[in-house]
Chain A
């Protein structure tokens, strides 16, 4: 079974700083997808970024980028120029191609301080 591990339960940085959230996963599959979801206090689940395992290039969405290390099974999220609105729980998630089911990590609570 696939597992996703986020080893940082909580993180806190100052506004405008850069922060990196860690995620590792375990799978024997070769084709899969990885995701980062943001969950603000409103409870809404918001897709931040996704990465296809077959793509070597790291995904980027504005201030959000990932460092995808397939051999190490690592998928970290970097938030540049952090903003107060980035304060939320962040979940790493994994899906095997064809499985159509997301497996989530435990989450990292990120606080951006003014």
Chain B
């Protein structure tokens, strides 16, 4: 059972380059999220999705795009990389029915992608 898989684990980009961070989960979770973690800080929500075909902005969406064409995959796209996007990126997923998590539900995280923009 792989859980949430992120690729790549590390990447260095030059300013202005673009790339896609891949995220896939095999738990049939309907909710998926992208967070970024700046050095010494907590996680901030970039985008999230409540199901295939549905995405919404989080706290810090500028400079990013997402898509959710399947339940399993939730890629994050950086179009014009900037030094301010240097961060660790986490993908996460969860399952919820209705408007709330079940008693024992939780968020499953990937292992993160360390991105540096130079």
Are B101 and A100 neighbours in the complex by a CB distance under 8 Å? yes
**In the complex the two chains form, what is the Cα distance from A9 to B39 in whole Å?**
12
B100 close to chain A: CB less than 8 A: yes
Query: Do residues B41 and A107 form an inter-chain contact, with CB atoms below 8 A?
Result: yes
Could you say which residues of chain B place their CB within 8 Å of the CB of A104? 35, 42-44
Q: How large is the interface on B (under 10, 10 to 19, 20 to 34, 35 or more residues)?
A: 20 to 34
In the bound complex, what is the Cα–Cα distance between A107 and B37 (angstroms)? 11
CB distance from B33 to the nearest CB of A (A): 7
With A and B bound together, what is the CA distance between A42 and B88 in angstroms?
Answer: 12
Interface of A is mostly: loop
| Residues 41 to 74 of chain A near chain B (Cβ within 8 Å) | 42-45, 47, 50, 52
- Say yes or no: is B45 at the interface (Cβ < 8 Å to chain A): yes
For residue B74, CB closer than 8 A to chain A, the reply is no
Q: Which of A44, A52, A100, A107 has the most CB of B within 10 A?
A: A100
The docked-state distance in angstroms from the alpha carbon of A52 to that of B33 is 22
| The one of A52, A100, A106 that contacts B94, using a Cβ cutoff of 8 Å | A100
